[in-house]
Structure 1
């Protein structure tokens, strides 16, 4: 029985006066790659932010490795939605990745060459070494996302939260991101990803959390990702996209 790396009990959250999450309970096992799936407005981003203390909770408790977040912060990494970042900030790709090391460097000290090398290696792993000194505002959306993920890699966390890392990126970037997520999993890391494309859920994630303001189902993808559960999550008014398209190779 592996220890739960994340334990969420009775979590609820609201925006203004609307309750967007209620009665959220789950334990996440280590070494898993979980897709968080649900309709627009289901509270997927809010779930990540509330778990991480970036959005206030109304009720509930969250434990990371059986500890409160402040004790294990260095073991937890977060990649927010690309749209929530000010990409006009005048800095280059290498500096953005190096910022991921501030837990190790300390805020007021300059990064050493060893830190710079680490950041450069992470860029290289995401296929972005040639862009190390490019201003982030000059990168494409897919390139910005790769830089963002390199920054998460460099943190060497044990548990990662990623909010729609594959939204609006090109096919090559999506493949690079998935290769990296599977590599993290193979290293024993745990990753929770908000994901919007139902057609790729089976190929990408070994666990799935179906969310519509509360958890509809959570568990192994092969058991949970069924027509009935998806229909329940999306309110039954969507054409199920799995079976008939499942064997069609997406045109890249």
Structure 2
């Protein structure tokens, strides 16, 4: 059974096609980096798979079923820039939002729910900021809180849209430690990522996207100069030879 199976998904904004006949399958326990140039449709892909943006055509299967039936098994961390950080709430309440399906709407969280939320904050190093208003947190701290909200769901499949954007090096390392632990626990994670230099260190699978699938598979096999050129149209320069599988740094 695949965790995620996508068949011929297409999507558009107004009359501009941003995804065209995208198909791929993700197996359990993988940590996949979704990479491609600006405007390649990476964020739109995640939103379309999660029914946050309407597809033009295609089918998506979560655990061989529909998202509606498997929604409790799916977690999502949106781009930090898409969140209203001025909303008057604290870090603990943000994490508790990830438990609303268990708590029930219009019901107060119980002690066990708060303990679970605090444990999630502890995992991301934010337990000391539980009562802090989210507007008072730094960008990296806000990202950690949203990661905690996803963790508290205890999902089997996670989507993360540029979790490293605008965070400091310490936060990036902390997030990667958590993502690798999720993989070790048998969870499956897909991450929209923009830094080609860290792909080999961070992900065991990579998906090259530029409106359609350029290549998808194990990083050691797929992360090549040839596929980078195909995805980015030659408009990228790899500084370090070791960033590539085949050692060819002549991509410019």
When the two structures are superposed, what TM-score results if normalisation uses the length of structure 2?
0.95
* Residue of structure 1 in register with 2:241 after alignment: 243
Report Cα offsets for 1:164-189 as digits up to 9, x if no partner.
00011000000000000000000000
Match 1:144 to one of 142, 151, 162: 142
Shift of 1:82: 0.3
1:73 aligned to 2:76?
Answer: no
Shift of 1:15: 0.6
1:128 aligned to 2:139?
Answer: no
* Residue of structure 1 in register with 2:225 after alignment: 227
Shift of 1:63: 0.4
1:205 aligned to 2:235?
Answer: no
Map 1:127-206 to 2 at 5 A. 127-206=125-204
Report Cα offsets for 1:214-249 as digits up to 9, x if no partner.
000000000000011001100012212341678xxx
* Residue of structure 1 in register with 2:247 after alignment: none
What CA RMSD, in Å, does the superposition of the two structures yield over aligned residues?
A: 1.0
CA 1:164–1:92: 2 relative to 1, 3 Å: same
Shift of 1:11: 0.3
Q: Any gaps of 5 or more consecutive residues in structure 2? A: 245-252
Q: Any gaps of 5 or more consecutive residues in structure 1? A: 247-252
Give me the whole-angstrom Cα distance separating, in 1, the residues matched to 2:64 and 2:154. Answer: 19
Residue pair 2:198, 2:243 contacting (<8 A) in 1 also: no
Give me the whole-angstrom Cα distance separating, in 2, the residues matched to 1:152 and 1:242. Answer: 34
Residue pair 1:99, 1:151 contacting (<8 A) in 2 also: yes
After superposing on structure 2, the runs of 4+ consecutive aligned residues of structure 1 that deviate more than 6 Å are none
